[in-house]
Structure 1
Amino acid sequence: MKPFLTLLLLLPLTACTVRLAAPEEPIVINLNVKIEHEIRVKVEKDLDNLFEQNDELF
């Protein structure tokens, strides 16, 4: 019984430790995808309007 109790008392000492550290490089968020998507949607809407107004184009 005593070895079991000793094991239970020593078990928390072997647990993982939490380490917090600041990153060495700054965090970069790239938003180019969203901007390109917005431009593409606007151009497609403009083209749709142009094709609706001028049926003879295509």
Structure 2
Amino acid sequence: MKYIGFLFIVLTGLAACTPTVQVAAPKEPITINLNVKIEHEIYVKVDKALDNVISESSDLF
């Protein structure tokens, strides 16, 4: 009988120490500041023969 009481005390002590996980929404909104500078350059190389066709018949476009 002594062991049952001791076991009961130990088990309730262990049950009281179990960690809890809480998920809650933040009180303030999340802000993300992005200071991004995007630069791009597009290079178009046209073949000389294609350039001649376009310049000769300019009514294509």
Shorter-normalised TM-score: what interval? 0.3 to 0.5
TM-score by length of 1: 0.43
Q: Greater CA radius of gyration, 1 or 2?
A: 2
TM-score by length of 2: 0.41
